[in-house]
Amino acid sequence: MNVSEKVRREEGGLWETVKVIIQALLIAVVVRTLLFQPFNIPSGSLIPTLLVGDYLFVSKYSYGYSRHSIPFSPPIFSGRIWASEPQRGDIAVFKLPKDNSTDYIKRVIGLPGDHIQVLNGVLHINGVPVKRERVEDYRTTDLFGRMQSVLSYRETLPNGVSYRTIERDGDRGYWDNTNLYTVPPGHFFMMGDNRDNSTDSRDEASVGPVPFENFVGRAEIIFFSIDESASWRFWEWPGLIRWGRMFQPIR
């Protein structure tokens, strides 16, 4: 083999490697855009359903596609294609309406045209109190990292979707008595299950009602979970991984 043949073979091998990398990147972009996107839980607003340190997959196809389905939300079209509206009780990732870039995750509570209000801690939808049953207290940490027991309820929405909520401040928290909200057409009212520690649609200055276009996808399954105290010391991780939460569907 002469020098020129050796160079050509090396260049051909390098080009094949580059092609494989490009193909892998394209497949990853297609999967992330059209099928599933990984998402991690950075805050406790959905405790006890989702915990800080949960890693989950969000289905991108559940609600159809908008510009927010594409990485970096390029303004290449408006509205949604192949749209399917969120259902009451879904846990969904959306872009914060105030900046159209920050990812939030909350539960769908109000549909377009609904009237939503919280009175003495009880959620009301269209003037009817949502069924709420007291269950055992939930153990969690306070603002200083100390363990505490907080009130917990099982809430059941009009369509039968049921889940647990917690009330750190009982029924006397800041958002336990609200104004009456009317959900605008094409918008949805989102709330966290940690009712006294969730910035959501009740806070009109920060979130407010969420346009359908801003929805990214529906949370489907937890694929990994690790205690929020985990650090770069990976050898400590086996004792901090929440094995029982892995591969659990999200309800």
C-alpha span between 214 and 103 (Å, rounded):
10
C-alpha span between 2 and 135 (Å, rounded):
80
Give which of 66, 42, 64, 45 is closest to 54, Cα–Cα: 42
User: What are phi and psi for residue 233, nearest 5 degrees?
Assistant: -75, 80
DSSP 48-102: TTS-TTEEEEEESSBTBB-GGGSTT---S--S-BS--PPPTT-EEEEE-TTTS-S
Is the Cα torsion angle 181, 187, 191, 196 positive or negative in sign? negative
- 133's tokens: 């049953």
Cβ-contact 86, 63 below 8 angstroms? yes
C-alpha span between 169 and 177 (Å, rounded):
12
The one catalytic residue among 60, 69, 95, 106: 106
- 106 is a catalytic site residue: yes
- 78 is a catalytic site residue: no
Supply the residues annotated as catalytic: 45, 106
